[in-house]
Amino acid sequence: GDSVTQMEGPVTLSEEAFLTINCTYTATGYPSLFWYVQYPGEGLQLLLKATKADDKGSNKGFEATYRKETTSFHLEKGSVQVSDSAVYFCALSDILGKGGKLIFGQGTELSVKP
Amino acid sequence: EAGVAQSPRYKIIEKRQSVAFWCNPISGHATLYWYQQILGQGPKLLIQFQNNGVVDDSQLPKDRFSAERLKGVDSTLKIQPAKLEDSAVYLCASSYDRRNEQFFGPGTRLTVL
């Protein structure tokens, strides 16, 4: 079945460092890809999404490009802040084939130190 | 616009007891989802409703879990009897329809002792 694999955490960076969180997926259809973020004590929030190959999603300085050839959707940010400390989840949804449910990776915890 | 509401926020029970969680989706959202998030893992779909009909309950342990969405608005998820491995955060999400963005509630953290 469809699945998502993320790099394991926790990831600890200094403020202003470059961030990459790797995400690869397996899907039989044509999924949409998402990054969700969960800040401490808060619910899941959509960070960005891409609906087809070569699309780039971006929000709050974060970017991810849908790479069908490598089945990847890596999250990047050029300069992280302490406020970016959170758990990041990569997810896919095969809206047309499977009704819209999200399949999540296991999450990557990011800790940014001042 | 009010977000997805869930209650209670926390619940502690002993194994073999029963428990129920409540979710009120965003007004006008036809699709409602219940996810289970075990510590250290990503959320996993338990059940998906479209209005008051079930779209997907393939991963719902039906011997102990049940869910309903009467009148296509609020939803209740029940566990009876609970097991230790049911300790998790139960997330409710809603979307305008299944093709649209899902909005998540704050979750209910269940601890089974």
A96 pLDDT band (50/70/90 cuts)? low
B100 pLDDT band (50/70/90 cuts)? confident
Runs of H (alpha helix) within A7-104? 95-98
B16: CB partners within 8 A, 6+ apart: B81, B82
pLDDT, one tens digit per residue, over B62-90 is 999 999 998 889 999 999 999 999 999 99
How far, in Å, are A83, A95, B21 from residue A64 at the CA level? 19, 20, 35
C-beta atoms of B43 and A44 within 8 A: yes
Q: Among residues of chain B, what percentage have pLDDT more than 70?
A: 99
Query: CA-CA distance, B33 to B40, in Å (whole number)?
Result: 20
pLDDT of residue A41: 82
Is B40 an 8 Å CB contact of chain A? yes
pLDDT, one tens digit per residue, over A69-83 is 999 999 999 999 999
- Give B40's contacts in chain A (Cβ within 8 Å): 106-107
pLDDT of residue A40: 87
C-beta atoms of A100 and B102 within 8 A: yes
